[in-house]
Amino acid sequence: MNAHGGKRRGAGRPRGSNAYGEPTVPVRIPKSRVISVKAFLAACKAQNDRQSPVESIVPASDSGPDTTLPLFSTRVQAGFPSPADDHIEKRLNLNDYLIKQADATFLVTITGLSMRDAGLLPKDVVVVDRSRTAGVGNIVMAVVDGEFTIKYLGLGEHGNPLLIPANPEFKAIEIKEGMQFEIWGVVTGSVRKYL
């Protein structure tokens, strides 16, 4: 019997030791869709967590056709503006305005109130750009011990990353040794629907 190569009893990871607690199968996907598939799987896992501040994740590249809307050149206060055609400066494409790199950008629906004072409320949709490098003070989408969270990025007392909520009813999360931590992307914008 040859002792080299082939299947060995007891080799590999134990069954069910992955993040989902299930056996896995190999799947081949196009390189261009890897980020989308990973985001989808992460969103599925996050939806199973009751305290996840993320309701859904959608790749911006799948957001459909571009639409332009009229952009008025006059600043509008909370009074009675007169939106006449001669005040239209140009047409605005929201994808161009909100998205820098479509294949690295995702639209994420917020749940919870931890970022309330930053103006992010439940059902708001935030734009998360994975191509940007996060800096202190940015709002980031992070994964901490397998759970998504959206917080301000700061530094703790010992220089460790600190995830800071924008609501005094929530505690900051200091990233300590042994914790799984990844900055998934930087929040670059948000959209709110009123009706």
- Average pLDDT value for residue range 86-101: 76
Nearest by Cα to 93 from 75, 70, 116, 112: 70
User: Average pLDDT over the chain, rounded to whole?
Assistant: 78
Beta pairing partners, 181: 144
Spatial distance between the Cα atoms of 120 and 142, rounded to a whole number of angstroms: 16
Task: Determine what percent of the chain is predicted with pLDDT higher than 90.
Answer: 35
Residue pointed to by tokens 């989808």: 40
Domains of the chain (ranges, CATH numbers): 31-191 (2.10.109.10)
Q: How confident is the model at residue 136 (pLDDT cuts 50, 70, 90)?
A: very high
93 has pLDDT over 60: yes
Q: What is the pTM of this model?
A: 0.63
Residue of higher predicted confidence among 120 and 1: 120
Whether residue 42 is predicted with pLDDT greater than 90 in this model: the reply is no
Query: Would you say residue 181 has pLDDT above 90?
Result: yes
Paired strand residues for 150: 141
Nearest to 187 by CA among 132, 117, 128: 128
CB–CB of 129/105 below 8 Å? yes
User: What separation, in Å, do the N-terminal and C-terminal C-alpha atoms of the chain show?
Assistant: 72
pLDDT of 50 > 50? The answer is no
Asked whether the beta carbons of 150 and 120 are under 8 A apart, the reply is yes
- Tokens 């990871």 map to which residue? 13
Q: Which two tokens stand for residue 124?
A: 């708001």
Helix (H, G, I), strand (E, B) or coil at 85: helix
> Is it the case that residue 165 has pLDDT exceeding 80?
yes
Residue predicted with more confidence, 85 or 8: 8
Residue 3, pLDDT score:
58
Range with the poorest average pLDDT among 9-13, 29-33, 133-137, 169-173 = 9-13
Q: Which residues contact 58 (CB under 8 A, 6 or more apart)?
A: 106, 107, 108
Distant-in-sequence, close-in-space partners of 52: CB < 8 Å, separation ≥ 6? 46, 111, 147, 148, 149
Choose among 131, 142, 129, 127: nearest CA to 42: 142
Query: What is the rounded average pLDDT of the residues 48-70?
Result: 59
Supply the residues annotated as catalytic.
114, 151
Local confidence band at 12 (pLDDT 50, 70, 90 cut-offs): low
